[in-house]
Structure 1
Protein backbone atom coordinates (compact mmCIF):
# COMPACT_ATOMS: atom_id res chain seq x y z
CA UNK A 1 0.00 0.00 0.00
CA UNK A 2 1.38 3.39 -1.01
CA UNK A 3 1.02 6.24 1.44
CA UNK A 4 0.49 9.77 0.10
CA UNK A 5 2.31 12.85 1.37
CA UNK A 6 1.49 16.02 -0.56
CA UNK A 7 3.57 19.18 -0.07
CA UNK A 8 2.38 22.56 -1.36
CA UNK A 9 4.11 25.90 -1.02
CA UNK A 10 1.55 28.65 -0.33
CA UNK A 11 0.24 30.73 -3.23
CA UNK A 12 1.82 34.06 -4.05
CA UNK A 13 1.63 36.45 -1.09
CA UNK A 14 1.46 40.23 -1.11
CA UNK A 15 5.09 40.42 -0.03
CA UNK A 16 6.18 37.92 -2.70
CA UNK A 17 4.65 40.31 -5.20
CA UNK A 18 6.53 43.25 -3.68
CA UNK A 19 9.83 41.29 -3.65
CA UNK A 20 10.19 41.59 0.13
CA UNK A 21 11.85 39.20 2.57
CA UNK A 22 8.80 37.85 4.41
CA UNK A 23 9.87 35.24 6.95
CA UNK A 24 7.55 35.22 9.96
CA UNK A 25 5.61 38.32 8.90
CA UNK A 26 2.03 37.58 8.00
CA UNK A 27 0.79 38.98 4.67
CA UNK A 28 -2.11 37.23 2.97
CA UNK A 29 -2.37 35.88 -0.57
CA UNK A 30 -2.66 38.09 -3.63
CA UNK A 31 -5.42 37.46 -6.18
CA UNK A 32 -2.87 35.40 -8.11
CA UNK A 33 -2.03 33.48 -4.93
CA UNK A 34 -5.70 32.67 -4.37
CA UNK A 35 -5.96 31.44 -7.97
CA UNK A 36 -2.81 29.31 -7.52
CA UNK A 37 -4.22 27.68 -4.38
CA UNK A 38 -7.55 26.99 -6.08
CA UNK A 39 -5.73 25.52 -9.06
CA UNK A 40 -3.76 23.24 -6.73
CA UNK A 41 -7.05 22.00 -5.31
CA UNK A 42 -8.38 21.34 -8.81
CA UNK A 43 -5.29 19.31 -9.73
CA UNK A 44 -5.55 17.18 -6.61
CA UNK A 45 -9.29 16.76 -7.18
CA UNK A 46 -8.61 15.61 -10.74
CA UNK A 47 -6.39 12.88 -9.25
CA UNK A 48 -9.22 11.97 -6.82
CA UNK A 49 -6.88 12.48 -3.88
CA UNK A 50 -8.59 12.74 -0.50
CA UNK A 51 -6.77 13.47 2.75
CA UNK A 52 -7.06 12.19 6.30
CA UNK A 53 -5.39 15.22 7.88
CA UNK A 54 -3.75 18.51 6.85
CA UNK A 55 -0.86 20.40 8.42
CA UNK A 56 0.08 24.02 7.98
CA UNK A 57 1.99 26.81 9.71
CA UNK A 58 0.60 29.54 11.95
CA UNK A 59 0.98 32.07 9.10
CA UNK A 60 -2.11 33.18 7.21
CA UNK A 61 -0.74 32.72 3.67
CA UNK A 62 -0.18 29.01 4.31
CA UNK A 63 -3.47 28.56 6.16
CA UNK A 64 -5.41 30.35 3.40
CA UNK A 65 -3.76 28.13 0.79
CA UNK A 66 -4.59 25.02 2.78
CA UNK A 67 -8.21 26.07 3.21
CA UNK A 68 -8.68 26.79 -0.52
CA UNK A 69 -7.16 23.43 -1.47
CA UNK A 70 -9.44 21.57 0.92
CA UNK A 71 -12.47 23.44 -0.38
CA UNK A 72 -11.40 22.51 -3.91
CA UNK A 73 -11.37 18.79 -3.15
CA UNK A 74 -14.61 18.88 -1.19
CA UNK A 75 -13.05 18.47 2.26
CA UNK A 76 -13.50 21.93 3.84
CA UNK A 77 -13.96 20.51 7.35
CA UNK A 78 -10.92 18.22 7.35
CA UNK A 79 -8.85 18.12 10.55
CA UNK A 80 -6.18 20.80 10.07
CA UNK A 81 -3.28 21.19 12.48
CA UNK A 82 -1.41 24.51 12.58
CA UNK A 83 2.06 24.61 14.12
CA UNK A 84 4.84 27.18 14.30
CA UNK A 85 7.36 24.43 13.52
CA UNK A 86 6.22 24.65 9.87
CA UNK A 87 6.71 28.43 9.63
CA UNK A 88 8.90 29.97 6.98
CA UNK A 89 12.56 30.60 7.71
CA UNK A 90 13.02 33.67 9.92
CA UNK A 91 14.96 36.24 7.90
CA UNK A 92 15.87 38.34 10.95
CA UNK A 93 17.13 41.81 10.04
CA UNK A 94 16.29 41.24 6.37
CA UNK A 95 12.56 40.85 7.13
CA UNK A 96 10.49 43.50 5.37
CA UNK A 97 13.35 44.69 3.16
CA UNK A 98 13.02 44.75 -0.59
CA UNK A 99 15.54 42.25 -1.93
CA UNK A 100 17.11 44.84 -4.23
CA UNK A 101 17.36 47.33 -1.35
CA UNK A 102 18.97 44.64 0.82
CA UNK A 103 21.64 44.09 -1.84
CA UNK A 104 22.30 47.81 -1.90
CA UNK A 105 22.53 47.98 1.91
CA UNK A 106 24.58 44.86 2.64
CA UNK A 107 26.20 44.14 -0.73
CA UNK A 108 25.10 41.68 -3.39
CA UNK A 109 27.61 39.00 -2.38
CA UNK A 110 26.64 39.08 1.29
CA UNK A 111 22.91 38.86 0.57
CA UNK A 112 23.58 35.99 -1.84
CA UNK A 113 25.47 34.16 0.94
CA UNK A 114 22.61 34.65 3.39
CA UNK A 115 20.02 33.47 0.87
CA UNK A 116 21.91 30.62 -0.74
CA UNK A 117 24.19 29.12 1.89
CA UNK A 118 22.91 26.22 3.95
CA UNK A 119 24.24 27.22 7.36
CA UNK A 120 24.98 30.98 7.38
CA UNK A 121 21.99 32.93 8.80
CA UNK A 122 21.25 36.61 8.22
CA UNK A 123 21.67 38.78 11.35
CA UNK A 124 19.02 37.82 13.90
CA UNK A 125 17.55 35.13 11.65
CA UNK A 126 17.70 31.47 10.69
CA UNK A 127 19.76 29.58 8.16
CA UNK A 128 18.16 26.73 6.26
CA UNK A 129 20.09 24.42 8.60
CA UNK A 130 18.48 25.90 11.72
CA UNK A 131 15.10 25.97 9.98
CA UNK A 132 15.48 22.25 9.32
CA UNK A 133 16.40 21.69 12.98
CA UNK A 134 12.90 22.81 14.03
CA UNK A 135 10.95 21.43 11.05
CA UNK A 136 12.33 17.89 10.93
CA UNK A 137 11.70 16.83 14.55
CA UNK A 138 8.08 17.94 14.15
CA UNK A 139 7.79 16.06 10.86
CA UNK A 140 9.28 12.90 12.35
CA UNK A 141 7.20 12.97 15.53
CA UNK A 142 3.83 14.26 14.25
CA UNK A 143 3.46 13.98 10.48
CA UNK A 144 5.42 10.96 9.31
CA UNK A 145 3.79 8.54 11.80
CA UNK A 146 0.39 9.36 10.34
CA UNK A 147 1.66 8.77 6.81
CA UNK A 148 3.18 5.44 7.87
CA UNK A 149 -0.17 4.45 9.39
CA UNK A 150 -1.58 4.64 5.87
CA UNK A 151 -3.14 8.10 6.04
CA UNK A 152 -2.98 10.61 3.19
CA UNK A 153 -1.44 13.82 4.49
CA UNK A 154 -1.38 17.37 3.08
CA UNK A 155 1.28 19.86 4.20
CA UNK A 156 0.71 23.45 3.05
CA UNK A 157 3.67 25.51 4.17
CA UNK A 158 6.57 27.64 2.91
CA UNK A 159 9.52 27.48 0.57
CA UNK A 160 12.16 26.86 3.21
CA UNK A 161 10.19 24.71 5.66
CA UNK A 162 9.28 22.49 2.71
CA UNK A 163 12.89 22.44 1.50
CA UNK A 164 13.80 20.98 4.89
CA UNK A 165 11.24 18.19 4.39
CA UNK A 166 12.31 17.54 0.81
CA UNK A 167 15.97 17.37 1.86
CA UNK A 168 15.05 14.63 4.35
CA UNK A 169 12.70 12.74 2.04
CA UNK A 170 14.99 12.78 -1.00
CA UNK A 171 18.29 12.45 0.88
CA UNK A 172 19.74 15.68 -0.53
CA UNK A 173 22.77 17.57 0.71
CA UNK A 174 22.56 21.13 2.02
CA UNK A 175 24.05 22.40 -1.23
CA UNK A 176 21.57 20.45 -3.33
CA UNK A 177 18.47 21.56 -1.43
CA UNK A 178 19.41 25.24 -1.31
CA UNK A 179 19.41 25.22 -5.11
CA UNK A 180 15.94 23.61 -5.33
CA UNK A 181 13.28 26.08 -6.46
CA UNK A 182 9.70 25.56 -5.28
CA UNK A 183 7.00 27.33 -7.23
CA UNK A 184 4.05 28.80 -5.36
CA UNK A 185 0.87 26.74 -5.36
CA UNK A 186 2.34 23.65 -7.04
CA UNK A 187 1.57 20.32 -5.31
CA UNK A 188 4.34 17.73 -4.97
CA UNK A 189 2.83 14.28 -4.52
CA UNK A 190 5.01 11.65 -2.85
CA UNK A 191 4.03 8.00 -2.60
CA UNK A 192 5.91 6.39 0.26
CA UNK A 193 6.43 2.78 1.28
CA UNK A 194 5.97 1.35 4.77
CA UNK A 195 9.42 2.62 5.79
CA UNK A 196 8.82 6.15 4.53
CA UNK A 197 10.97 5.73 1.40
CA UNK A 198 9.85 7.33 -1.84
CA UNK A 199 8.13 4.98 -4.27
CA UNK A 200 7.06 7.70 -6.68
CA UNK A 201 7.06 11.50 -6.93
CA UNK A 202 4.88 13.69 -9.14
CA UNK A 203 5.03 17.48 -9.43
CA UNK A 204 1.62 18.80 -10.55
CA UNK A 205 2.93 21.64 -12.69
CA UNK A 206 0.80 23.25 -15.40
Structure 2
Protein backbone atom coordinates (compact mmCIF):
# COMPACT_ATOMS: atom_id res chain seq x y z
CA UNK A 1 0.00 0.00 0.00
CA UNK A 2 1.19 3.50 -0.84
CA UNK A 3 2.25 5.39 2.26
CA UNK A 4 4.43 8.22 0.89
CA UNK A 5 4.57 10.31 -2.29
CA UNK A 6 7.94 11.52 -3.63
CA UNK A 7 8.34 13.75 -6.67
CA UNK A 8 11.53 13.95 -8.76
CA UNK A 9 12.01 16.69 -11.31
CA UNK A 10 14.77 17.23 -13.83
CA UNK A 11 15.15 21.02 -14.14
CA UNK A 12 13.72 22.88 -17.13
CA UNK A 13 15.80 23.26 -20.29
CA UNK A 14 19.02 25.21 -19.83
CA UNK A 15 20.96 27.14 -22.48
CA UNK A 16 23.42 24.27 -22.94
CA UNK A 17 20.65 21.64 -23.14
CA UNK A 18 19.48 23.62 -26.15
CA UNK A 19 23.01 23.64 -27.62
CA UNK A 20 23.41 19.91 -26.85
CA UNK A 21 26.55 20.48 -24.76
CA UNK A 22 27.67 18.68 -21.59
CA UNK A 23 26.75 21.28 -18.95
CA UNK A 24 27.46 19.36 -15.76
CA UNK A 25 28.86 21.66 -13.03
CA UNK A 26 29.04 24.81 -15.18
CA UNK A 27 26.35 27.09 -13.77
CA UNK A 28 23.61 27.87 -16.27
CA UNK A 29 20.29 29.65 -16.02
CA UNK A 30 17.17 28.25 -17.69
CA UNK A 31 16.46 29.05 -21.33
CA UNK A 32 13.16 30.80 -22.17
CA UNK A 33 11.75 27.38 -22.98
CA UNK A 34 13.05 26.05 -19.63
CA UNK A 35 11.24 28.83 -17.75
CA UNK A 36 8.02 27.87 -19.58
CA UNK A 37 8.57 24.18 -18.78
CA UNK A 38 9.01 24.91 -15.07
CA UNK A 39 5.90 27.14 -14.90
CA UNK A 40 3.84 24.58 -16.84
CA UNK A 41 5.05 21.87 -14.46
CA UNK A 42 3.92 23.91 -11.44
CA UNK A 43 0.52 24.58 -13.00
CA UNK A 44 0.06 20.87 -13.81
CA UNK A 45 0.92 19.84 -10.24
CA UNK A 46 -1.47 22.44 -8.82
CA UNK A 47 -4.29 21.36 -11.16
CA UNK A 48 -3.79 17.75 -10.09
CA UNK A 49 -4.12 18.79 -6.45
CA UNK A 50 -0.57 18.07 -5.25
CA UNK A 51 1.06 20.09 -2.46
CA UNK A 52 4.65 19.96 -1.23
CA UNK A 53 5.99 20.48 2.28
CA UNK A 54 9.69 20.85 1.42
CA UNK A 55 11.88 21.02 -1.69
CA UNK A 56 15.46 19.84 -2.14
CA UNK A 57 17.66 21.22 -4.94
CA UNK A 58 21.28 21.14 -6.02
CA UNK A 59 23.41 24.29 -5.72
CA UNK A 60 23.26 24.89 -9.50
CA UNK A 61 21.04 27.79 -10.63
CA UNK A 62 18.97 25.81 -13.15
CA UNK A 63 17.80 23.42 -10.43
CA UNK A 64 17.04 26.22 -7.94
CA UNK A 65 15.32 28.43 -10.55
CA UNK A 66 13.11 25.50 -11.60
CA UNK A 67 12.06 24.95 -7.98
CA UNK A 68 11.22 28.64 -7.54
CA UNK A 69 9.09 28.76 -10.69
CA UNK A 70 7.24 25.54 -9.81
CA UNK A 71 6.50 26.81 -6.28
CA UNK A 72 5.40 30.21 -7.59
CA UNK A 73 2.95 28.56 -10.01
CA UNK A 74 1.61 26.43 -7.13
CA UNK A 75 1.32 29.33 -4.66
CA UNK A 76 3.85 27.59 -2.39
CA UNK A 77 6.67 30.15 -2.34
CA UNK A 78 6.72 29.98 1.46
CA UNK A 79 7.82 26.36 1.87
CA UNK A 80 11.48 25.54 2.69
CA UNK A 81 13.95 25.01 -0.16
CA UNK A 82 17.10 23.16 0.96
CA UNK A 83 20.18 23.09 -1.29
CA UNK A 84 23.12 20.67 -1.48
CA UNK A 85 25.95 19.96 -3.92
CA UNK A 86 25.13 16.27 -3.38
CA UNK A 87 22.15 16.72 -5.71
CA UNK A 88 24.32 18.34 -8.42
CA UNK A 89 24.39 16.98 -11.94
CA UNK A 90 26.96 14.28 -12.68
CA UNK A 91 30.47 15.69 -13.11
CA UNK A 92 31.38 14.99 -16.73
CA UNK A 93 35.07 15.80 -16.27
CA UNK A 94 36.93 16.84 -19.41
CA UNK A 95 33.76 16.38 -21.52
CA UNK A 96 32.20 19.52 -19.99
CA UNK A 97 31.31 22.08 -22.66
CA UNK A 98 31.61 19.65 -25.58
CA UNK A 99 28.79 19.07 -28.06
CA UNK A 100 27.38 15.53 -27.84
CA UNK A 101 26.56 15.15 -31.54
CA UNK A 102 30.04 16.36 -32.62
CA UNK A 103 31.59 13.90 -30.16
CA UNK A 104 29.44 11.08 -31.59
CA UNK A 105 30.80 11.91 -35.03
CA UNK A 106 34.35 11.91 -33.66
CA UNK A 107 34.25 8.96 -31.22
CA UNK A 108 31.20 6.97 -32.38
CA UNK A 109 27.68 6.94 -30.94
CA UNK A 110 28.32 3.83 -28.82
CA UNK A 111 31.30 5.42 -27.04
CA UNK A 112 29.31 8.61 -26.34
CA UNK A 113 26.35 6.55 -25.08
CA UNK A 114 28.72 4.72 -22.71
CA UNK A 115 30.09 8.03 -21.39
CA UNK A 116 26.59 9.50 -21.06
CA UNK A 117 24.46 6.61 -19.87
CA UNK A 118 26.50 3.69 -18.52
CA UNK A 119 26.53 3.07 -14.78
CA UNK A 120 30.18 2.67 -13.87
CA UNK A 121 32.29 4.27 -16.62
CA UNK A 122 33.93 7.53 -15.53
CA UNK A 123 34.87 10.06 -18.24
CA UNK A 124 38.39 11.55 -18.29
CA UNK A 125 38.83 13.99 -15.35
CA UNK A 126 38.85 17.75 -15.68
CA UNK A 127 42.20 19.45 -15.00
CA UNK A 128 43.46 23.01 -14.69
CA UNK A 129 44.00 23.34 -18.44
CA UNK A 130 40.27 22.86 -19.09
CA UNK A 131 38.49 26.10 -20.13
CA UNK A 132 35.84 25.71 -17.39
CA UNK A 133 38.04 24.41 -14.57
CA UNK A 134 38.57 27.74 -12.80
CA UNK A 135 34.99 28.88 -13.36
CA UNK A 136 33.80 25.81 -11.44
CA UNK A 137 36.39 25.49 -8.67
CA UNK A 138 36.78 29.19 -7.88
CA UNK A 139 33.00 29.54 -7.50
CA UNK A 140 32.12 30.57 -3.94
CA UNK A 141 29.21 28.11 -3.78
CA UNK A 142 31.72 25.25 -3.46
CA UNK A 143 33.08 26.73 -0.23
CA UNK A 144 29.72 25.80 1.33
CA UNK A 145 29.99 22.04 0.75
CA UNK A 146 30.32 19.44 3.50
CA UNK A 147 33.65 18.30 1.97
CA UNK A 148 36.80 20.30 1.25
CA UNK A 149 36.99 21.81 -2.23
CA UNK A 150 40.01 19.69 -3.17
CA UNK A 151 37.98 16.56 -2.30
CA UNK A 152 35.15 17.43 -4.69
CA UNK A 153 34.93 15.24 -7.82
CA UNK A 154 36.87 15.96 -11.00
CA UNK A 155 34.76 13.43 -12.97
CA UNK A 156 32.04 10.94 -12.04
CA UNK A 157 30.32 7.82 -13.26
CA UNK A 158 26.62 7.44 -12.42
CA UNK A 159 27.70 5.03 -9.68
CA UNK A 160 29.85 7.78 -8.12
CA UNK A 161 26.87 10.18 -8.31
CA UNK A 162 24.82 7.66 -6.34
CA UNK A 163 27.66 7.19 -3.83
CA UNK A 164 27.76 10.91 -3.00
CA UNK A 165 23.99 11.28 -3.12
CA UNK A 166 23.01 8.37 -0.85
CA UNK A 167 24.26 9.80 2.48
CA UNK A 168 22.22 12.96 1.78
CA UNK A 169 19.16 10.90 0.83
CA UNK A 170 19.42 8.71 3.94
CA UNK A 171 20.27 11.42 6.48
CA UNK A 172 18.44 14.52 5.23
CA UNK A 173 15.66 13.61 2.77
CA UNK A 174 14.35 10.33 4.22
CA UNK A 175 13.60 11.81 7.69
CA UNK A 176 11.35 14.42 5.98
CA UNK A 177 9.49 11.69 4.07
CA UNK A 178 9.07 9.64 7.24
CA UNK A 179 7.47 12.67 8.93
CA UNK A 180 4.72 12.29 6.32
CA UNK A 181 5.94 15.30 4.34
CA UNK A 182 5.49 15.38 0.57
CA UNK A 183 8.93 16.02 -0.90
CA UNK A 184 9.95 17.47 -4.27
CA UNK A 185 13.54 16.95 -5.43
CA UNK A 186 14.28 19.50 -8.17
CA UNK A 187 17.61 18.30 -9.50
CA UNK A 188 19.22 16.98 -12.69
CA UNK A 189 18.93 14.15 -15.19
CA UNK A 190 21.65 12.06 -13.59
CA UNK A 191 21.06 12.78 -9.91
CA UNK A 192 17.40 11.82 -10.48
CA UNK A 193 18.38 8.71 -12.49
CA UNK A 194 20.80 7.63 -9.74
CA UNK A 195 18.07 7.95 -7.12
CA UNK A 196 15.60 6.05 -9.31
CA UNK A 197 18.17 3.26 -9.69
CA UNK A 198 18.46 3.01 -5.92
CA UNK A 199 14.73 3.18 -5.15
CA UNK A 200 13.50 0.95 -7.97
CA UNK A 201 16.38 -1.54 -7.88
CA UNK A 202 17.17 -0.95 -11.57
CA UNK A 203 20.07 -3.09 -12.85
CA UNK A 204 23.42 -1.58 -13.88
CA UNK A 205 22.58 -2.43 -17.51
CA UNK A 206 18.97 -1.22 -17.56
CA UNK A 207 19.69 2.21 -16.06
CA UNK A 208 21.30 3.17 -19.41
CA UNK A 209 17.82 3.11 -20.94
CA UNK A 210 16.12 5.30 -18.32
CA UNK A 211 15.62 8.79 -19.78
CA UNK A 212 14.10 11.78 -18.00
CA UNK A 213 13.00 14.77 -20.09
CA UNK A 214 13.39 18.31 -18.71
CA UNK A 215 10.53 19.83 -16.75
CA UNK A 216 8.45 16.63 -16.41
CA UNK A 217 7.57 15.64 -12.81
CA UNK A 218 8.03 11.99 -11.84
CA UNK A 219 5.73 10.63 -9.11
CA UNK A 220 6.91 7.73 -6.97
CA UNK A 221 4.48 6.11 -4.53
CA UNK A 222 6.41 4.37 -1.76
CA UNK A 223 5.58 1.90 1.01
CA UNK A 224 6.76 2.18 4.64
CA UNK A 225 10.18 0.78 3.58
CA UNK A 226 10.43 3.46 0.87
CA UNK A 227 10.06 0.90 -1.90
CA UNK A 228 7.83 1.73 -4.90
CA UNK A 229 4.38 0.12 -4.80
CA UNK A 230 3.71 0.82 -8.51
CA UNK A 231 5.70 1.93 -11.58
CA UNK A 232 6.92 5.54 -11.64
CA UNK A 233 4.52 7.98 -13.31
CA UNK A 234 5.70 10.77 -15.60
CA UNK A 235 2.93 13.33 -15.19
CA UNK A 236 1.53 15.30 -18.11
CA UNK A 237 0.65 14.78 -21.78
CA UNK A 238 2.05 11.31 -22.53
CA UNK A 239 2.55 11.91 -26.28
CA UNK A 240 4.59 15.06 -25.54
CA UNK A 241 6.58 13.20 -22.87
CA UNK A 242 7.49 10.38 -25.31
CA UNK A 243 8.59 12.97 -27.91
CA UNK A 244 10.71 14.72 -25.27
CA UNK A 245 12.33 11.40 -24.24
CA UNK A 246 13.23 10.66 -27.88
CA UNK A 247 14.75 14.14 -28.19
CA UNK A 248 17.01 13.49 -25.16
CA UNK A 249 18.04 10.06 -26.51
CA UNK A 250 18.88 11.57 -29.92
CA UNK A 251 21.29 14.10 -28.35
CA UNK A 252 24.08 11.52 -28.45
CA UNK A 253 23.63 10.70 -32.13
CA UNK A 254 25.94 12.13 -34.75
CA UNK A 255 24.46 14.64 -37.17
CA UNK A 256 25.87 13.64 -40.56
CA UNK A 257 26.13 16.71 -42.74
Q: Output the TM-score relative to the length of structure 1.
A: 0.94
* Structure 2: gaps spanning 5 or more residues: 126-154, 238-257
Aligned length, in residue pairs: 206
Q: Which runs of 4+ in 1 moved over 6 A?
A: none
SS at match of 2:121: coil
Residue 157 of structure 2 is matched in structure 1 by 127
Contact 1:136 1:164 in 2 (8 A): no
Residue 43 (str. 1) matches residue 44 (str. 2) = yes
Q: Output the TM-score relative to the length of structure 2.
A: 0.76
| Greater share of strand | 1
Contact 2:27 2:62 in 1 (8 A): yes
Q: Whole-Å Cα distance in 2 between the matches of residues 30 and 37 of structure 1?
A: 11
SS at match of 1:178: helix
Residue 98 of structure 2 is matched in structure 1 by 97
Contact 1:20 1:96 in 2 (8 A): yes
Residue 73 of structure 1 is matched in structure 2 by 74
In structure 2, the CA distance between the partners of 1:187 and 1:109, relative to structure 1 (3 Å rule), is closer
- Identify the match of residue 159 of structure 1 among 189, 193, 217: 189
**Higher CA-based Rg:** 2
Residue 197 (str. 1) matches residue 198 (str. 2) = no
In structure 2, the CA distance between the partners of 1:53 and 1:106, relative to structure 1 (3 Å rule), is same
Contact 1:56 1:155 in 2 (8 A): yes
Residue 173 of structure 2 is matched in structure 1 by 143
After superposition, what is the alpha-carbon deviation per residue over 1:78-112, rounded to whole angstroms, capped at 9, x for unaligned? 10001000000001000001112323454544323
Contact 2:44 2:236 in 1 (8 A): no
Residue 203 of structure 2 is matched in structure 1 by 173
SS at match of 2:229: strand
* Structure 1: gaps spanning 5 or more residues: none
Question: RMSD of the TM alignment (CA)?
Answer: 1.4
Contact 1:24 1:88 in 2 (8 A): yes
